[in-house]
Amino acid sequence: MRVGIPHFGNVYISVKAMAQRLGATERDLIIPPPMTRRTLDLGVKYSPTEACLPYKLTLGNLIEACELGADTLAQGRGTGICRLGYYAKNQEQILHDLGYDAHFITIDVSHHKLASILQLIKGMCNNAPWPKIISAFRFGIGKLFALDKIEKVVQKVQAVELERGTANQIYREAIRAIDKAAERKEVKRITSEYIDKLSWIPKEEDAKPIKVSIVGEIYVVIEPFANMDLEVELGKLGVEVERTMTISRWIKYSLFLNPLGIDEWRDVHKAAMPYLKRDVGGDGWESVGEKVLHAREGYDGIIHVAPFTCMPEIVAQNIMPSTKEDIPVLTVLCDEQMAKPGMITRLEAFVDLLKFRRKRRKR
């Protein structure tokens, strides 16, 4: 069995770590090459025209994985309202038509998530004993938590560093180092080492950078290729980015704490209540709630990222302008037509607007 997975942020690092721990060789796990224009082109070529960007990108990934010889493919599945539930069904058909006889294994991301993931791992590694699986799983997600921890620091530092791009340079090094780490202790050591490195970067004295929160659909918010390195570009403009949605947070709550009745979005949903009363699937409810909350918390602006034709985010987009809590929102819709210069121009204009707004408020 040669398993191929689609890319989603840094998830591949954790999957790789788990596979190594369970004794899988390089032949058993196929990580498709990093996303490039080719991935997107492949996805766009074979997807239904109006499918959303995450669909097209993951299809591109899976095709590339098949080219490298994968015969089993992993994909998310859910019984939600959004299109995600249909991904595996359709993509299997498309790959079959292309002549790849790949079998799909799906991870249920709406019910029994932890059990579904662990079962999947157990099925794939010839029934290794549970303690071994759990230790591998812990090691794998530990890497994700470490990376997200470093990223949080990067988001703050990149806004105030004197030489633009240093923090991101260090972050990229950290990704490589953590990817290589073979022990949990090593991951911990690398994490603190890189956080120290970030704190030594020369920074502007008492700078008060513009603070922006990124909300929206989880895939395009987290995957830098899908949002065209939105966060890096904002960093170049000297903007501090805050993003609630991270993979480690999703793992922490959805897999472990939600079943215990702890809801990380409770405050967000409460904030959204006067404007949107119910879950509309995907991350639409959260987007509205976060806008309201962050407006109260004194952020300068919100960047709302969504794939083009994303249903839940369209609902959010329709509702957001009418909330009482007033804060500028820039909606960035991601699809295959998007070009970086266009996005940068929009970001620059938005950041200028936020600066003016701040100046006017001070007076």
Where along the sequence are the contacts to other proteins (CB under 8 A)?
Answer: 48-52, 79-83, 85-86, 89-90, 93, 97, 275-282, 284, 308-312, 314-315, 317-319, 321-322, 333
Which of 77/294 has CB closer to other proteins? 77
Which of 8/285 has CB closer to other proteins? 285
Q: What SS3 class is residue 308?
A: coil
Which of 144/306 has CB closer to other proteins? 306
Distance in Å, CB of 131 to other proteins, minimum? 34
User: Do 178 and 147 touch, CB atoms closer than 8 A?
Assistant: yes
Residue type present at position 259: P
Distance in Å, CB of 20 to other proteins, minimum? 35
Which of 81/117 has CB closer to other proteins? 81
**Burial class of 9 by CB neighbour count within 10 A (0 to 12, 13 to 18, 19+):** buried
Distance in Å, CB of 333 to other proteins, minimum? 7
Q: What is the DSSP letter of 253?
A: I
User: Do 164 and 122 touch, CB atoms closer than 8 A?
Assistant: no
List b or e across 77-86, with b for residues whose CB sees 16 or more CB atoms inside 10 angstroms.
Answer: bbebebbbbe
Distance in Å, CB of 74 to other proteins, minimum? 19
Residue type present at position 108: D
Which of 51/251 has CB closer to other proteins? 51
Which of 237, 187, 245, 195 lies closest to 216 in space, CA to CA? 245
For 301, the enclosing helix (H) or strand (E) is strand 301-307
Distance in Å, CB of 273 to other proteins, minimum? 10
Which of 201/330 has CB closer to other proteins? 330
Q: What SS3 class is residue 289?
A: helix
Distance in Å, CB of 117 to other proteins, minimum? 20
Which of 119/309 has CB closer to other proteins? 309
**329-334 sheet: strands from edge to edge:** 239-243, 210-216, 301-307, 329-334
End-to-end CA distance of the chain: 66
Distance in Å, CB of 318 to other proteins, minimum? 5
